[in-house]
Chain A
Amino acid sequence: MPAVSMTVNGKPVTGDVEARTLLVQFLRENLRLTGTHVGCDTSQCGACVIHLDGIAAKSCTLLALQCEGAKITTIEGLAEPGGALHPMQEAFREHHGLQCGYCTPGMIMSALDIVRRRGNDLDEHTIREQLDGNICRCTGYHNIVKAIASGAKNMAKGGAPRRAAE
């Protein structure tokens, strides 16, 4: 089996994978980073969103081998090493932007990408349009939208949008 090397949440990792192994499988099964979830087979639900070299990507639609040398950030890499939550994580809790929690890691990773692309002052319409790649079945999105708007604002207070741990 071919070997693959990448940096995940700031740590260099290597592993042997099949050519057909998906990035999400590599993260979940080889690295045991199970915060990244799989909710569909067609790249619709967004439960598997991670950051690939700082940009949101669906890890169910990438082969692990495609990510040779890449910098990957998963939900596990967002909080400070000391445990302080990222403002976007904090906003999801504060605004009850999650219920079962299954879509949440992907939602948070996508939310950060919306901030990267659209800035910290996000209106409801923009957030709703930009969440097209993520599905939540529990919340009706109402509180997710509020959480993202608030998290984006709070990120600005703490300086520029934080690139997740690298």
Chain B
Amino acid sequence: MSATGIGAAVRRKEDFRFITGQGQYTDDVVRPGETRAVFVRSPHAHAKIKSIDVAAAKKMPGVVDILTGADLATDKIGNLICGWMIHSKDGSPMKMAAHPALASGKVNCVGDAVAVVIAETMAQGRDAAEKVKVDYEVLTAVVDPAKAQAAGAPQIHPDIANNTIYQWHLGDAKATNAAFAAAKHVTKLDIVNNRLVPNAIEPRAAIADYDAGSDHLTLWNTSQNPHVARLVISAFVGITPEHKLRVIAPDVGGGFGSKIFIYPEEVVCLWASRKTKRPVKWVADRTESFLTDAHGRDHVTHAELALDANGKILALRAKTIANLGAYMSTFSSSVPTYLYGTLLSGQYDIPSIYCEVDAVYTNTAPVDAYRGAGRPEATFVVERLVEVAARQMGIEPTELRKRNFIKTFPHQTPVIMAYDAGDYFASMKKALEIADVKGFAKRKREAARHGKLRGLGYSTYIEACGIAPSQAVGSLGAGVGLWESAEVRVNPTGSVEVLTGCHAHGQGHETTFAQLVSERLGIPFENVSIVHGDTDKVQFGMGTYGSRSGAVGMSAIVKALDKIEIKAKKVAAFMLEAAEGDIEFKDGKFTVAGTDKSAAWGDVSLNAYIAHKFTGAELEPGLKETSFYDPTNFTFPAGCHICEVEVDIDTGKTDIVNWTAVDDFGTVINPMIVEGQVHGGIAQGIGQALLEGVVYDKEGQLVSGSFMDYSMPHAHDLPSFQVGLTETKSPSNPLGIKGCGEAGAIAAPAAVINAITDAIGTENLAMPATANAVWSALQGAKPRQAA
């Protein structure tokens, strides 16, 4: 392994600009003559818009224009769409309601934009926005997903009965029910997977600039996938044809899923820029982020596990209501279906599974993918069921897991997925050692002497990442393919640019992708630049989410590098006057097999461009290759997380005293970056389990609408983490990578709740397990005695 090659903990290329304040985020971009967009948003969760009066506002200083939903309709701007078709069990297509970028006639959640003020400064825009008079007729709202389908519930969209988007199912109901009928033991749980706000620290922002001379629009946008944004804005919203729109996602300050989606604000900025012939910038304030960023999770589930007398799992069934909010966000439909139901087998050999999911509209912000997206919800269901079943049956939780672990691969689950590689025993064994589970009983006794309850919780999770084979997702309803592209440009001096369709917003691609190129071509790490996030530079790409950039994005780079090597060997053959088949390439040097004749990488690069050694008929000049790589399968990262907690009996406050994560991510390119991803994921998972939760009151007001009301994990809420790795390579991509971005967020919530419930001796505990919630659960519970 070289100091900068695959497997090396190389310090990041991108850090210099960030630690010196020279990052270029969307809000840092300034266009000459730019104006500011300020949105007028609905204060009501559900209301008819009787009238909008902008006359007084238009007279305010600095106002350039004020636009409403009526103007949007006049200009025939299309609706935002959800790009993944789900069919109900009766075969009917999902019910996608109209989602105009500015509400027309009716608002369906607090924060729905009804008008936009374009002004010279933000302050002037805000002043004017306050003068826009909107007359509402307030309607009854529904915010609880479990009540949205009830007879008499307010109907949110005119032609969609019972607020039901789809009633989907997966698996074999008959076989599953038969297994339950024959089971010796059945564990049942009612689970609420709490709604979360992703809260990237950089708020969403957009700046649109219309060039009238060429009738061309440029959009700088906080996007995880600028090409997908361009495609949707062009082909569906119809702002402008694809070739007349450039989307640039510069440095992006965190995404976690929330910046995948195409939102009303960027559409409005583009439209307004063309109308006003001025650049238009919008930057969300944090409360706007809370109100309008797509939220995550929000499932209500009843789940059951059937086991035989020995603790062998026979079947699992789950019925879930998924809250998708007021409108269907870009990929919302896929999250509680193909990213959820398909993972309900966990790491276990479960013969029969049946899952039903009803997706519903409510008068709340849209819900879509948030770190893990469906897989944290599935893992929580499976890992809570398994842990509780073990406790009920008097079997050690690790022992019950081991009795049910999948042992041979490939393994076809009853819910679509074919796991290709893994060793679940290995990750559990290593985690048990690192966590010193053997010493737990002693620690529990010591804690008890200090009035504290200690608990231990496991989560042996699995996820499906590297999304995904285009044919497979196409057959499941995806509107796009999920391949990735790469272009490798070798310059005449031998330095290299890699253009990737992935997008980095914290993941360190500029470093890891350069490590791959450095190792493969034998050139210095410093001589490689990674280019991403600009539709004018990168031909096309699907962006970054679903832990896909390593498994899919880097595989595309490998394929392009393969082509580069083939072409470079041809050039070297002309230079060295040898047969192409005799050229060997190693450590940046081309040699003629069996001779001492060689050419250095830089010489070959130069010769490819000066083209003095071959004619155009023999070989095309230049050294640049492109690849579009489509994966053959999902990848299946898996691992074992162990959480040890101490609960204060008097206050209910939980302290996480020990966290162990052992993950199998396949090949690891940069262990420092991978560990960082694990840390961040765990923090978000602990946040969900202990601290975070969106609260809407019954009128649909967002009570938790700022960092003062929504509890973000702080440094003092979290422990340091003990992180280990095991490795089985993914057979589904050339590098053997599985992906690491979401694992922590997927594994952690179940580990925390399993630990607290172990400590307090009752399973009746909802997330977030705040001190108040734990204290309340403790009243009437019988804490387990120290072993």
**A residues apposed to B, CB below 8 Å:** 18, 20, 28, 32-42, 44-45, 47, 74-76, 78-79, 85, 89, 92-94, 96, 98-105, 108, 124, 127-129, 131-132, 134-145
Q: Is the CB of B16 within 8 A of A93?
A: yes
Say what secondary structure dominates the interface of chain A: loop
Q: Is the CB of B712 within 8 A of A140?
A: no
What are the residues of chain A within 8 A of B203 when measuring CB–CB? 38-39
Q: Is the CB of A92 within 8 A of B202?
A: no
Given A39-B202, A45-B201, A100:B253 Cβ within 8 A: yes
Q: Is the CB of A76 within 8 A of B20?
A: yes
Residue B593 lies at the interface, judged by CB distance under 8 Å to chain A: no
A32, A40, A101, A105: residue with the most chain B Cβ atoms closer than 10 Å: A101
Q: Is the CB of B15 within 8 A of A47?
A: no
What are the residues of chain B within 8 A of A132 when measuring CB–CB? 714-716
Q: Is the CB of B673 within 8 A of A96?
A: yes
Chain B 504-524 residues near chain A, CB threshold 8 A: 505-508
What are the residues of chain A within 8 A of B19 when measuring CB–CB? 75, 85, 89, 92-93, 98, 101, 104-105, 108
Closest A residue to B254 by CB, please name it.
A100
Q: Is the CB of A35 within 8 A of B20?
A: yes
Q: How many whole Å from A143's CB to the nearest CB in chain B?
A: 6
Closest A residue to B203 by CB, please name it.
A39
Q: Is the CB of B201 within 8 A of A44?
A: no
Given A137-B256, A138-B254, A139-B680, A89:B20 Cβ within 8 A: yes
Q: Which of A34, A40, A47, A103 contacts B28 (CB 8 A)?
A: A34
Q: How many whole Å from A48's CB to the nearest CB in chain B?
A: 11
Q: Is the CB of B682 within 8 A of A140?
A: yes
- B 1-28 to A, binary, CB cutoff 8 A, 1 in contact else 0: 0000000000110111111111111011
Residue B708 lies at the interface, judged by CB distance under 8 Å to chain A: yes
Q: Is the CB of A101 within 8 A of B251?
A: yes
Q: Is the CB of B715 within 8 A of A127?
A: yes
Say what secondary structure dominates the interface of chain B: loop
Given A101-B14, A101-B23, A131:B716 Cβ within 8 A: yes
Q: Is the CB of B253 within 8 A of A101?
A: yes
**B residues apposed to A, CB below 8 Å:** 11-12, 14-25, 27-28, 30, 123, 198-203, 251-254, 256, 283, 285-287, 505-508, 672-673, 675-676, 679-684, 706-708, 712-716, 718, 720-721, 744
What are the residues of chain B within 8 A of A108 when measuring CB–CB? 19
Assembled-state Cα–Cα distance A105/B715 (Å): 16
What are the residues of chain B within 8 A of A141 when measuring CB–CB? 679, 683, 713-715, 718
What are the residues of chain A within 8 A of B672 when measuring CB–CB? 96
Q: Is the CB of B21 within 8 A of A35?
A: yes
Given A40-B286, A144-B715, A138:B680 Cβ within 8 A: yes
What are the residues of chain A within 8 A of B14 when measuring CB–CB? 101
Assembled-state Cα–Cα distance A143/B20 (Å): 18
Closest B residue to A132 by CB, please name it.
B714
Closest B residue to A83 by CB, please name it.
B20
Closest A residue to B371 by CB, please name it.
A137
Q: Which of A35, A124, A140, A142 contacts B22 (CB 8 A)?
A: A35
Closest A residue to B283 by CB, please name it.
A38
What are the residues of chain A within 8 A of B676 when measuring CB–CB? 96, 99, 138-139, 142-143
Q: How many whole Å from A146's CB to the nearest CB in chain B?
A: 8
Assembled-state Cα–Cα distance A119/B507 (Å): 32
Q: How many whole Å from A78's CB to the nearest CB in chain B?
A: 8
A selection of 7 A-B contacts at a CB cut-off of 8 Å is A20-B123, A45-B201, A47-B201, A76-B22, A85-B19, A100-B200, A137-B199
- Excluding A76-B20, A89-B20, A93-B11, 18 further A-B contacts by CB distance (< 8 Å) are A33-B21, A34-B24, A40-B285, A44-B712, A75-B21, A93-B16, A99-B680, A101-B251, A102-B23, A104-B18, A105-B18, A128-B718, A132-B715, A135-B714, A136-B201, A138-B506, A139-B680, A141-B679
Q: Is the CB of A135 within 8 A of B707?
A: yes
Closest A residue to B706 by CB, please name it.
A42
Q: Is the CB of A100 within 8 A of B252?
A: yes
Assembled-state Cα–Cα distance A40/B284 (Å): 9
Q: Is the CB of B506 within 8 A of A100?
A: yes
What are the residues of chain A within 8 A of B675 when measuring CB–CB? 96
Q: Is the CB of B11 within 8 A of A42?
A: no
Assembled-state Cα–Cα distance A136/B203 (Å): 13
Assembled-state Cα–Cα distance A45/B289 (Å): 14
Q: Is the CB of B287 within 8 A of A41?
A: yes
Top 10 A-B residue pairs of the complex, sorted by shortest distance between their CB atoms: A35-B21, A102-B253, A101-B18, A140-B683, A100-B506, A99-B506, A44-B707, A75-B21, A140-B679, A40-B286
Closest B residue to A106 by CB, please name it.
B201
Closest B residue to A33 by CB, please name it.
B21
